[in-house]
């Protein structure tokens, strides 16, 4: 009976998840992969860093998804003078002329906060980063002599990599808190570009977002369902060996015969993927397996999220750091192409048996 | 004495009056049409056979007198008549008579000497008068088998006439063509069916996988190893890890495997189910299926 209930839950939630994608795809064109990845992050309960140029639709995408998730949506703009307390409270003069203090965007909705959007996070100072990262990790904060819990909150942040003035690079420890860094690129398809230029519906982001059906998901049940989903999807020994090889390859790519053009691979990596990063990788991969209507993890599930989960976690030596976006993508591509599955270790084990 | 001389002259004139008309008649009534002698008149050695054919034309009703023909077996100066035959036919009131004489040399000499086939006289009967015709001798050089006083015959052996050879060029051509076709067929059969690396291009990735898979039959834990062998073959051929979602790229780069698109796709589905999912098939059935698939992939690899 219990198993039957779980199966029903899995099926129902899956149909909701796929509906979320369909709804968002109605208003956001050419970003199917990004939408799928964000859907995975929502069900894996991970925070997302969006990376892309100006005016590519990041905000519209986030607002559409927030509408589908339901719950409260809050947003803050990253600026050079933004301070941590701006997230917690703000002060103003009341009607009676006396100063008043009100809860800031992070606390305003309380436990109903489902999506917190930090626009241009790299414009904010490291102090703000520190606060955000703590809240992202712990999902609670103390203020006004009490504890505010934010159990359903996921943070979507974006960073503009075009401009460098008055920006603060997000340190590697901070990047690691984000489950994924998803690139938002301008669609290459000519017809889509034409539609984005000439179809007037894309000119009004607010009305566009309203076309998306709201509350497709029940935001306050996502945590519970995520736990169920994670325990439901199984992985075989062969796949676990493969995941271990992938992890090792992010630390010692030369051991797997990985080569990059014009790069000394032996000196490229300073720090590979973290245990938290690899845990998140498998978590996201399980969600992908569930979306593909499977109850076992396949290598394809890991591949579906590997770039977006691992690339921003790699720390390169200083001489390569200024080329990190290109090199990280190239390295993760080479890792997937070179690390064998079934792994050589699996093969040796089978032979020994 | 004078009287004796007159008598002698009278007898001579009388003989002349009787004999001359017959000689004249003989020259008119019988003549040699042709004599065919042996081709070579030198280098004749002991035991050689020499043929002589004489064609004589004689007025009818004259016939050759068979009683007067030379006797078979006659030996004259070391030349034996080994055989004789005669035939006649009538043509325009003439009889054409062909006589073949076959001689064999039975003599010995230490040095080359001149010898001869003997003169033969043929007589004709059936007419009013007796006729005869003489065939002249035919001379030739007789050669000894070895020179005189030789201590080592081998050094002085004379070359014989080379035997005429049969033209076997056409047979040779057919032979080499057949041999070439046979070898090509043999190589083709080996190329198609052989497991071992006997020829270049035979040790492809799938040929190796097929060999390894066949060794797994009946082994414990053979099924997983079987999947691994085939995956490794695909990976090596593709140059990197090959997964189901890269299949189109793989087929674009290796078009000869296109005919097995469905089978390869099915392989990846089954492989995922076997290696990564809980449900797996019977090991032996799976290994047999993989051996069959690897053989088909090997055939594609070899282009057969």
Residue of A338, A346, A353 with shortest CB distance to B240: A338
Question: CB A296 to CB B232 under 8 A?
Answer: no
Query: For residue B272, which residues of chain A lie inside 8 Å, CB to CB?
Result: 298
Residue A10 domain flag: no
DSSP string for B65-102: -GGGSPPTT-EETTEEEEEEEEEEEEETTEEEEEEEEE
Q: What's the mean pLDDT in B186-209?
A: 79
Question: CB B221 to CB A353 under 8 A?
Answer: yes
Q: What is the pLDDT of residues B154-184, one digit of tens each?
A: 776 667 777 788 888 889 999 999 999 999 9
Domain boundary among A218, A243, A271: A218
Model confidence at B24, pLDDT cuts 50, 70, 90, reads: very low
Domain that holds residue A170: 26-218
Query: How many distinct structural domains can be found in chain A?
Result: 2
Does domain B26-144 fall under CATH 3.40.50.1970? My reply is no
Domain residue spans of chain B: 26-144, 204-302
Could you tell me if A84 and A204 lie in one domain?
yes
Query: For residue A351, which residues of chain B lie inside 8 Å, CB to CB?
Result: 225
Rounded distance between C-alpha atoms, residue B190 and residue B202, angstroms: 9
Model confidence at B280, pLDDT cuts 50, 70, 90, reads: low
DSSP string for A251-308: H-GGGGT--BTTB-HHHHEEE---HHHHHHHHHHHHHHHHHTT-SB--HHHHHHHHHH
Query: For residue B275, which residues of chain A lie inside 8 Å, CB to CB?
Result: 236, 238-239, 342
Q: Is B276 on the interface with A (CB under 8 A)?
A: yes
Distance from the B179 Cα atom to the nearest Cα atom in chain A, whole angstroms: 46
Could you tell me if A80 and A209 lie in one domain?
yes
Rounded distance between C-alpha atoms, residue A89 and residue A144, angstroms: 9
DSSP string for B179-242: HHHHHHHHHHHHHHH--S--STT---HHHHHHHHHHTTTT-TTHHHHHHHHHHHHHHHHHTS--
- Which pLDDT value is given to residue A348? 54
- Which pLDDT value is given to residue B279? 60
Q: What is the pLDDT of residues A182-229, one digit of tens each?
A: 999 888 889 888 888 888 888 787 888 889 999 999 999 999 999 999
- Which pLDDT value is given to residue B163? 79
- Burial class, B219, CB count within 10 angstroms (exposed 0-12 / middle 13-18 / buried 19+): middle
Could you tell me if A314 and A167 lie in one domain?
no
Could you tell me if A186 and A239 lie in one domain?
no
Ramachandran assignment for B111, one of left (phi > 0), alpha (psi -120 to 50 degrees), beta (any other): beta
- Which pLDDT value is given to residue A323? 86
Could you tell me the CATH number of the domain that includes residue A255?
A: 1.10.8.80
Distance from the B304 Cα atom to the nearest Cα atom in chain A, whole angstroms: 30
Q: How many CB atoms lie within 10 A of CB A98?
A: 7
Could you tell me if A63 and A157 lie in one domain?
yes
Rounded distance between C-alpha atoms, residue B154 and residue B142, angstroms: 20
Residue of A236, A294, A340 with shortest CB distance to B275: A236
Rounded distance between C-alpha atoms, residue A11 and residue A22, angstroms: 17
B20 pLDDT higher than 50: no
Residue A14 domain flag: no
Q: Is A303 on the interface with B (CB under 8 A)?
A: yes
Residue of A234, A238, A336 with shortest CB distance to B241: A336
Rounded distance between C-alpha atoms, residue A332 and residue A343, angstroms: 17
Chain B residues 236-255 with a CB less than 8 Å from chain A = 240-241, 243-245
Q: Is A238 on the interface with B (CB under 8 A)?
A: yes
Return the higher-pLDDT residue of B24 and B232. Answer: B232
Query: For residue A300, which residues of chain B lie inside 8 Å, CB to CB?
Result: 243-245
State the DSSP H helix or E strand holding residue A52, giving kind and residue range, or none if neither.
strand A48-52
Q: Is B302 on the interface with A (CB under 8 A)?
A: no
Could you tell me if A46 and A144 lie in one domain?
yes
Could you tell me if A310 and A205 lie in one domain?
no
Q: Is A46 on the interface with B (CB under 8 A)?
A: no
Report the SS3 class of residue A42.
helix
Q: What is the pLDDT of residues A132-152, one digit of tens each?
A: 989 999 999 999 889 999 999
Residue A3 domain flag: no
Could you tell me the CATH number of the domain that includes residue A166?
A: 3.40.50.300
Distance from the A255 Cα atom to the nearest Cα atom in chain B, whole angstroms: 16
B88 in Cβ contact with B96 (< 8 Å): yes
Q: Which of B270, B276, B279, B280 to mutate to test the interface with A (most CBs of A within 10 A)?
A: B276
Distance from the A35 Cα atom to the nearest Cα atom in chain B, whole angstroms: 20
Q: Could you tell me the CA-to-CA distances from A236 to A29, A290, A342, B209 in Å, in that order?
A: 37, 16, 11, 24
Domain boundary among A191, A218, A245: A218
DSSP string for A60-123: HHHHHHHHHH-SEEEEEE--TT--THHHHEEEEE-TTS-EEEEE-TTTTTGGGEEEEEEETGGG
Question: CB B241 to CB A298 under 8 A?
Answer: no
Residue A7 domain flag: no
Question: CB A234 to CB B232 under 8 A?
Answer: no
- Which pLDDT value is given to residue B258? 93
Q: What's the mean pLDDT in B86-114?
A: 91
Q: Which of B275, B286, B290 to mutate to test the interface with A (most CBs of A within 10 A)?
A: B275
- Which pLDDT value is given to residue B14? 43
B35 pLDDT higher than 50: yes
Model confidence at B221, pLDDT cuts 50, 70, 90, reads: low
Could you tell me if A260 and A187 lie in one domain?
no
- What stretches in chain A show pLDDT beneath 70? 1-4, 161-162, 343-353
Locus of tokens 């909701």: A16
């Amino acid at each position: 009976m219990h198993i039957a209930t779980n199966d029903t839950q899995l099926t129902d939630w899956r149909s909701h998840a796929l509906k979320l994608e369909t709804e968002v795809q109605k208003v956001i064109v050419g970003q199917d992969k990004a939408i799928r990845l964000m859907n995975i992050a929502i069900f894996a309960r991970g925070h997302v860093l969006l990376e892309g140029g100006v005016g590519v639709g990041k905000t519209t995408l986030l607002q559409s998804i927030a509408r589908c998730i339901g719950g409260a949506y809050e947003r803050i703009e990253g600026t050079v003078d933004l301070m941590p307390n701006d997230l917690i409270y703000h002060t103003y003069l009341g009607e009676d002329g006396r100063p008043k203090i009100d809860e800031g965007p992070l606390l305003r909705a309380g436990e109903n906060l489902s999506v917190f959007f930090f626009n241009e996070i790299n414009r904010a100072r490291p102090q703000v980063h520190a606060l955000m990262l703590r809240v992202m990790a712990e999902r609670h904060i103390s203020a006004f002599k009490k504890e505010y819990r934010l159990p359903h909150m996921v943070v979507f942040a974006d960073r503009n990599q075009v401009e460098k003035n008055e920006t603060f690079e997000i340190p590697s420890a901070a990047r690691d808190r984000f489950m994924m860094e998803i690139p938002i690129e301008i669609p290459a398809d000519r017809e889509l570009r034409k539609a984005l230029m000439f179809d007037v519906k894309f000119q009004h982001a607010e009305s566009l977002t309203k076309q998306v059906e709201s509350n497709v998901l029940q935001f306050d049940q996502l945590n519970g369902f995520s736990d169920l989903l994670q325990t439901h999807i199984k992985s075989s020994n062969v796949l676990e060996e493969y995941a271990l090889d992938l992890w090792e390859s992010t630390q010692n790519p030369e051991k797997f015969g990985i080569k990059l053009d014009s790069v000394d691979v032996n000196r490229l990596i300073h720090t590979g993927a973290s245990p938290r990063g690899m845990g998140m990788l498998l978590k996201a991969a399980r969600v992908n397996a569930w979306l593909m209507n499977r109850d076992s993890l396949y290598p394809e599930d890991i591949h579906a999220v590997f770039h977006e989960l691992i690339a921003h976690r790699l720390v390169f030596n200083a001489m390569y750091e200024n080329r990190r976006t290109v090199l990280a993508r190239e390295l993760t591509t080479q890792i997937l192409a070179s690390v064998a599955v079934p792994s050589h270790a699996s093969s040796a084990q089978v032979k020994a048996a | 004495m004078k009287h004796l001389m007159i008598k002698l002259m009278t007898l001579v004139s009388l003989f002349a009056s009787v004999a001359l008309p017959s000689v004249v008649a003989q020259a008119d009534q019988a003549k040699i049409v042709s004599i065919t002698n042996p081709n070579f008149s030198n280098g004749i050695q002991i035991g050689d056979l020499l043929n002589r054919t004489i064609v004589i034309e004689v007025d009818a009703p004259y016939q050759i007198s068979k009683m007067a023909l030379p006797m078979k077996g006659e030996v004259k100066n070391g030349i034996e008549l080994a055989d004789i035959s005669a035939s006649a036919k009538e043509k325009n009131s003439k009889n054409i008579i062909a006589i073949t004489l076959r001689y064999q040399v039975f003599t010995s000499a230490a040095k080359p000497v001149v010898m001869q086939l003997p003169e033969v006289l043929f007589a004709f009967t059936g007419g009013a008068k007796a006729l005869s015709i003489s065939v002249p001798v035919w001379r030739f050089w007789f050669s000894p088998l070895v020179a005189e006083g030789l201590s080592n015959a081998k050094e002085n052996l004379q070359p014989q006439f080379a035997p005429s050879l049969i033209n076997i060029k056409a047979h040779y051509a057919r032979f080499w063509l057949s041999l070439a076709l046979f070898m090509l067929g043999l190589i083709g059969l080996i190329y198609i069916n052989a497991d071992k690396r006997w020829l270049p291009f035979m040790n492809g990735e799938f040929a190796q996988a097929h060999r390894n898979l066949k060794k797994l039959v009946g082994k414990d834990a053979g099924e997983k190893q079987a999947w691994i062998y085939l995956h490794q073959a695909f990976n090596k051929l593709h140059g990197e890890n090959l997964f189901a979602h890269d299949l189109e790229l793989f087929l674009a780069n290796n078009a000869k495997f296109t005919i097995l698109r469905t089978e390869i796709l099915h392989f990846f589905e089954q492989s995922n189910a076997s290696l990564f999912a809980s449900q797996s098939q019977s090991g032996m059935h799976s290994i047999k299926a993989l051996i069959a698939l690897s053989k088909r992939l090997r055939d594609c690899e070899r282009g057969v």
